[in-house]
Amino acid sequence: MWRLSDEQRAFREHLREVVLDEVRPRVREIDERCDYPHDIHETLAREGFFALAVPIEDGGRGETEVSFCAFVEELAKVSGTVSLMAAYVKLVSLPILLAGSEDQKREFLPPLVAGERYGSYALTEPRVGSDPAALETTAELHGDVWVLNGQKRFIGNAGHSDTYVVFARTGDRGAKGISAFIVDGQAPGVTVEALRTMGMPGWRLGAPRFEDVEVPASRILGREGDGFKIAMMTFDRSRPTVAAQAVGVAQGAIDLALDYAARREAFGQPLLAHQGIQFKLAGMETDVAAARALTFQAATFVDEQEPRMTKVSAMAKLFASDVAMRVTTEAVQVLGGNGYLKDFPAERMMRDAKVLQIYEGANEIQRMVVARQMARQAQGRDPVWPECMPDAAEVAPANVGGRA
């Protein structure tokens, strides 16, 4: 059972105050200008939020995944964009924590968690998204330098990142031919095309190109050929964070819809007095509570290194992001015409929720992950109902009364 300590709850309350005082007044401006809010990035770094998910020995605060998800939810209630700041520090830190050498950890993690450097996780490509084993970016070893060539797409923070974790092909086709590298974002040959997004305003999304980019041999993560494994291990541990973002966005939409329904009148009484609105809000609240429970179950599995982590993390990301899309759409409906106006944050929340169903593995891929894990589970255990198995049915006695 997941629990926050008194200290963690106190930090969450402090974070909530920071978000309400310094983030909420800026969300409309961020949405309209679509500029990355560097000052808010600096505030979160100063408050120590980026350091939460990194071990103390690597320059962080060593918080649990459960507490990190609780903190991300608080950010996402007000701004999906700001919650992405924390999510990306974690996403870039994870492969270095999982496969980096001690020298690599000392060099790259402290600046990331201190907010002094921006990071990007560069896996997706123009022709390769849901099938990362087919990626086409290449890395060739020339002496003691790897030379990268290729293009990535839909990469967060691209354009102002100092540190890229780049996945490239170093061997034959397939998963075993992929390696991971730490690449200097300012290196010669790195260029970035900016992409405009439907939601998450201010979030810098881009398509970086690598043309004869030289990477020292010391910047490979793990061993040659470990890249695909590193990417999948990272996703197992980062998907609960996406689920927490989804829970936060959805809870923020419920809070907005509930306050509006309590104050807006229709037919001589508040909207909240109408059963149709009551049932709608009750369903939204129940869905988000279920998504939160699954999210923290996945986070607990990450903390405990539970073997079912892969399946439950995929389930949490899948369910919570679908809930966020559904709940934010319903929130727009509760607000009626005002929900469609940019003067109210409901439509922004709906736009923000959409990408949660897509990045870090589209939800169709999450269903495949869950199903494959279930198949492995079935193959590795005795049948729960052995008498119902095909081989048992062949020798089972006839049914009494001749009924099938």
Is 29 part of the annotated catalytic residue set? no
139 bridge partner residues? 148
Residues contacting 5, CB < 8 A, separation 6+: none
Residues 102-117 as b/e (b if ≥16 CB within 10 A, e otherwise) read eebbebbbbebbbbeb
Tokens 């507490």 sit on residue? 67
Considering the candidates 193, 360, 364, 387, report the single residue annotated as catalytic: 360
Q: Compute the distance between CA of residue 325 and CA of residue 337 in angstroms, rounded to an integer.
A: 19
Residues in the chain: 404
* Distance between first and last Cα of the chain: 43
Parallel, antiparallel, or unpaired: how do β-strands 265-266 and 220-221 relate? Answer: unpaired
Tokens 């290729």 sit on residue? 150
Residue 337 has a CB neighbour count (10 Å cut-off) of 8
- Structure tokens given for 143: 């002496």
- Structure tokens given for 84: 């992405």
Q: Which residues are catalytic?
A: 360
